[in-house]
A and B are shown apart, each in its own frame.
Chain A
Amino acid sequence: MERNQQLRRQLASMRQSLFDQGHLDEQFILLEELQDDANPNFVEEVVTLHYRDSARLITTIERALEKSPLDFNKLDGYMHQFKGSSTSIGAKKVKAESTQFREYCEAGNGEGCMKTFQLLKRDYATLRRKLEAYFQLARQAGPNEIACRPK
């Protein structure tokens, strides 16, 4: 159907741009590959789990950054968890920023941590929004679209 084909094209394009813009990496593709008939919404399920868990961590880090003096060990620990989770879904930019944040923690650079965290939050929010739109469209277009591998 025209409508469906259109949706699919749109979906494919959305997906591709996520990669092109550096928001997602190969890990996301691996997740897509794991999706099958038994788990047709596997990727969405995982992404949802991630956002639920990471949102909690973001809040925790934010609160920790408001403390004075900064507890870099704790911050590093939280960020480590956050990074692990982000890596699992292939959130490329967010992952890079997490690494940066941890480096600042190690160096005891509070300001560096805060600046990086702001960037991280921004990219985190962007990806989250885009993925939500993506999955919404995917549900409309039909399951096979999601499983499509980008070339």
Chain B
Amino acid sequence: MSTASSSVTVSDQFPAGLRVLVVDDDPTCLRILEKMLGTCLYEVTKCNRAEIALDMLRTNKNGYDIVISDVHMPDMDGFKLLEQVGLEMDLPVIMMSADDSKQVVMKGVTHGACDYLIKPVRIEALKNIWQHVVRKRKNEWKDLEQSGSVEEGDRQPKPSEEADYSSSANEGNWRTSKRRKDEEEEIEERDDTSTLKKPRVVWSVELHQQFVSAVNQLGIDKAVPKKILELMNVPGLTRENVASHLQKYRLYLRRLSGVSPHQGNSFISSHSQEPPYGSLSSLSGLDFQTLAATGQIPAQSLATLQAAGLARSAAKPGLPMPLVDQRNIFSFDNQKLRFGEGQPQHMSSGKQMNLLHGIPTTMDSKQLVNLHHSAQSLGSLNMQASAHGNPSGQSSPLLMQMAQPQSRGQILTETSGGQVPRLPTSVGHPILSNGAAGAMLAINGIGENSRGTGYNSVSQTSSVLNFPLNHSAELPGNSFPLGSTPGISAGMSTLTTKGGFQEEINSDIKGSGGFMPSYDIFNDLQQHKPHNWELQNVGFAFDASQHSNSLQASVDVTPSVLVNQGYSSSQRNVQNSNVSAMGKPIFSVGEGSEHGIALNVGQHLNSLLVDNSTRVKSERVTDTSCQPTLLPQHFGQEDLMSAILKQQDGLGPAENDFEFDGYSLDNIPV
């Protein structure tokens, strides 16, 4: 929040004033520690019982910066307290004990203690505990940063955005890696003011819809939090909220479009069982299974999807990310998903705006291939199609599906029926027009679909895509069905990110792991636009192929797209399929991370969702710094997002593996 300047003030005093809560049943030690910490100029609160300490932490959530606790306490095991604090408050915890045996110290490490002090504790040891606070904050920011930086990379030419972002807690920081110090300071500051302590904003479908329309209106390149906020005109929403959501969205779009097959989204790969692509059925291999597994996509829809031609590239689940995202979206949406309602309007506009705006519709064949892989997992349905060359926004529907369980059947059918945009049908074009197609693409793995077909329609979504992808995502005129918003479509065509997009997307997406919130929108979209898959996946998925991560990124890209743009039923299905994939390692798409971005989208969503628990901390972003961990705090799903983001990052790395597993599309409120 505050600008860097304010943080500077804080940093000057830091670490003085650090609020420490020390817990120890031994009154002697407690008194000594209190005195020592006071000498270090910290603000000390002592407590001799763990339960009381927890109460204090709960009632005053933002009242402490760090906790120091003894291991052996009569009322509660110190490690248990450690876990609780980590889960509930996510504060750094230092363990202490007179016991210095390796086992005990190891236990501290495994339970997540950020340090272990042997008693008697020396004041020198206490003088440096502030480093743990900074480190933790920094990592959190970093995640955000990554997600944001991806965008940054894409948006190199947009310094203005940077400026805008700087105003928001998140953005400002991640932008300037050079300003590490400031960043740290800001982190400190931010902690107090920023989302870390703020109540999470739940990005409902409607809210996301508003967000996406605002973004589209402004144009993804020009979409800055302040303006978006103004356009949205939602009381109580802060620019910070918008900024972080924007970051995630971008990542999402990227993920969608940048289905980076290479990513080998661990998610997908882990889950993907060998994407038999070939035909839509390939998707089935992974995605459907997963999707089905997740229950999101009814088996039949999967089949449909498959038929749709997802077969394409059994997109390796490379797109774990996307799926994850979807999951997030869905989860977010579950409540609302109606996103599609709002969206459909846009989406349907002809181009199938892939929600996946971000999806680099231009999935080049290569990407498509990648996506293919990823799509596999996802439901490469879409992707596959696109991979084949006509990513007409295809597969997106798959993605869409993820979001909407209901639409599942639709999407599936869509793909097959409609242009099936998802995949390959329109390779070059407007797959999106199908709406579903786009959607499919988007979802699928986007990498493949994006090729053009799907992406073309992306025009709508393009704006979306532009989002994160902007920079490089030139979706090759992909008509990314991302379209969730009409605005996007316009942009979509520009998505030519053919490959570049993917990359970017990947990176973005990576970061966008956190996008999930927008995924809610996806869900909605799915419902409405069957064809518009907008699935961002479509677009970016393929491009992502370039980047293995891209898949993931792609997913991000179109979270909104997926959301619903109403991809006509197919979307839903697709999404569902994706979703289901997500549930499971949908990532089959993600596998390749490159590929199936589209799928990944859904998967991402899921994985992201899943991830959140893992707190993706930006490691994931394999490529670009998509640090998915956008400030999780912002969103209710923050954790998810972060997880997703993480996933994204991890698209490449295997780390994602675990992330995607969790996705259960179930969340996707189709």
Of chain B, the residue at the smallest CB distance from A57 is: B26
Stretch at the interface among A62-70, A85-93, A133-141: A85-93
Stretch at the interface among A3-11, A44-52, A122-130: A44-52
In the bound complex, residues from chain B placing their C-beta under 8 Å from that of A34 are 32, 35-36, 39, 123
Q: Give 1 or 0 for each of B480-521: 1 = CB within 8 Å of chain A CB.
A: 000000000000000000000000000000000000000000
Min CB distance A119 to B, Å, is 20
In the bound complex, residues from chain A placing their C-beta under 8 Å from that of B27 are 49, 52-53
A142 contacts partner chain B, Cβ-Cβ < 8 Å: no
Of chain A, the residue at the smallest CB distance from B33 is: A88
| A85 engages B32 (CB within 8 Å) | no
| A49 engages B122 (CB within 8 Å) | no
In the bound complex, residues from chain B placing their C-beta under 8 Å from that of A14 are none
Kindly state the separation between the CA atoms of A45 and B72 in the bound complex, as whole angstroms: 24
| B119 engages A88 (CB within 8 Å) | yes
Q: Take A53-B26, A88-B26 as given contacts and tell me if A80 and B31 are in contact as well, using a CB distance cutoff of 8 Å.
A: no
Kindly state the separation between the CA atoms of A105 and B26 in the bound complex, as whole angstroms: 22
Min CB distance A146 to B, Å, is 15
In the bound complex, residues from chain B placing their C-beta under 8 Å from that of A19 are none
In the bound complex, residues from chain B placing their C-beta under 8 Å from that of A50 are 28
Q: Give 1 or 0 for each of A26-56: 1 = CB within 8 Å of chain B CB.
A: 0100110010000100100110011011000
| B29 engages A88 (CB within 8 Å) | yes
| B31 engages A46 (CB within 8 Å) | yes
| B32 engages A31 (CB within 8 Å) | yes
In the bound complex, residues from chain B placing their C-beta under 8 Å from that of A42 are 35
Kindly state the separation between the CA atoms of A34 and B33 in the bound complex, as whole angstroms: 10
Partner of B28, one of A53, A77, A80: A53
Min CB distance B476 to A, Å, is 68
Question: Number of contacting residues on A, CB 8 A?
Answer: 22
In the bound complex, residues from chain B placing their C-beta under 8 Å from that of A27 are 120
The bracket for how many chain B residues form the interface is 10 to 19
In the bound complex, residues from chain A placing their C-beta under 8 Å from that of B32 are 31, 34, 46, 88
B99 contacts partner chain A, Cβ-Cβ < 8 Å: yes
In B67-103, the 8 Å CB interface with A consists of 72, 97-99
In B244-268, the 8 Å CB interface with A consists of none
A83 contacts partner chain B, Cβ-Cβ < 8 Å: yes
| A84 engages B29 (CB within 8 Å) | yes
Partner of B98, one of A53, A87, A90: A87
Min CB distance B531 to A, Å, is 68
Of chain A, the residue at the smallest CB distance from B35 is: A34
| B26 engages A81 (CB within 8 Å) | yes
Min CB distance A132 to B, Å, is 16
In A66-123, the 8 Å CB interface with B consists of 77, 80-81, 83-85, 87-90
| B28 engages A85 (CB within 8 Å) | yes
Centre residue among B35, B36, B97, B99 by max chain A CB count within 10 A: B35
In the bound complex, residues from chain A placing their C-beta under 8 Å from that of B99 are 80
Of chain B, the residue at the smallest CB distance from A98 is: B98
Partner of B72, one of A49, A80, A88, A90: A80
Min CB distance B103 to A, Å, is 14
Q: Give 1 or 0 for each of B608-626: 1 = CB within 8 Å of chain A CB.
A: 0000000000000000000
| B29 engages A85 (CB within 8 Å) | yes
Kindly state the separation between the CA atoms of A89 and B26 in the bound complex, as whole angstroms: 12
In the bound complex, residues from chain B placing their C-beta under 8 Å from that of A77 are 72
In B15-49, the 8 Å CB interface with A consists of 25-29, 31-32, 35-36, 39
Min CB distance A59 to B, Å, is 16
Of chain B, the residue at the smallest CB distance from A54 is: B28
| A80 engages B120 (CB within 8 Å) | no
Of chain B, the residue at the smallest CB distance from A38 is: B38
| A81 engages B31 (CB within 8 Å) | no
| A85 engages B122 (CB within 8 Å) | no
In B117-141, the 8 Å CB interface with A consists of 119-120, 122-123
| A84 engages B98 (CB within 8 Å) | yes
Min CB distance B46 to A, Å, is 12
| B31 engages A84 (CB within 8 Å) | no
Kindly state the separation between the CA atoms of A77 and B123 in the bound complex, as whole angstroms: 26
| B28 engages A46 (CB within 8 Å) | yes
Of chain B, the residue at the smallest CB distance from A83 is: B98
In the bound complex, residues from chain B placing their C-beta under 8 Å from that of A88 are 26, 28-29, 32, 119-120
Of chain A, the residue at the smallest CB distance from B124 is: A30
Of chain B, the residue at the smallest CB distance from A87 is: B120
Kindly state the separation between the CA atoms of A88 and B117 in the bound complex, as whole angstroms: 13
Kindly state the separation between the CA atoms of A88 and B31 in the bound complex, as whole angstroms: 10
Min CB distance A94 to B, Å, is 13
Min CB distance A80 to B, Å, is 6
Kindly state the separation between the CA atoms of A27 and B99 in the bound complex, as whole angstroms: 17
Min CB distance A13 to B, Å, is 26
Of chain A, the residue at the smallest CB distance from B98 is: A84
Of chain B, the residue at the smallest CB distance from A36 is: B39
| B31 engages A45 (CB within 8 Å) | yes
Of chain A, the residue at the smallest CB distance from B99 is: A80
| A39 engages B35 (CB within 8 Å) | yes
Min CB distance A55 to B, Å, is 12
In the bound complex, residues from chain A placing their C-beta under 8 Å from that of B28 are 46, 49-50, 53, 85, 88-89
Kindly state the separation between the CA atoms of A50 and B27 in the bound complex, as whole angstroms: 7
Min CB distance A28 to B, Å, is 10
In the bound complex, residues from chain B placing their C-beta under 8 Å from that of A83 are 98
In the bound complex, residues from chain A placing their C-beta under 8 Å from that of B120 are 27, 30, 87-88, 90
| B31 engages A49 (CB within 8 Å) | yes
In the bound complex, residues from chain B placing their C-beta under 8 Å from that of A31 are 32
Kindly state the separation between the CA atoms of A53 and B39 in the bound complex, as whole angstroms: 25
In the bound complex, residues from chain B placing their C-beta under 8 Å from that of A30 are 120, 122-123
Kindly state the separation between the CA atoms of A77 and B77 in the bound complex, as whole angstroms: 13
Centre residue among B25, B28, B99, B119 by max chain A CB count within 10 A: B28
Kindly state the separation between the CA atoms of A80 and B120 in the bound complex, as whole angstroms: 13
* A-B complex: 6 closest residue pairs judged by Cβ atoms: A84-B98, A50-B28, A88-B28, A85-B28, A49-B28, A34-B35
B residues near A (Cβ < 8 Å) are 25-29, 31-32, 35-36, 39, 72, 97-99, 119-120, 122-123
A residues near B (Cβ < 8 Å) are 27, 30-31, 34, 39, 42, 45-46, 49-50, 52-53, 77, 80-81, 83-85, 87-90
A-B contacts, 22 of them at CB < 8 A, read A30-B123, A34-B32, A34-B36, A34-B39, A39-B35, A45-B31, A46-B31, A53-B26, A53-B27, A53-B28, A80-B72, A81-B26, A84-B29, A84-B72, A84-B97, A84-B119, A85-B28, A87-B120, A88-B26, A88-B28, A88-B120, A89-B28
Given A27-B120, A31-B32, A52-B27; 6 other pairs, CB 8 A cutoff: A30-B120, A77-B72, A80-B99, A84-B72, A85-B26, A87-B120
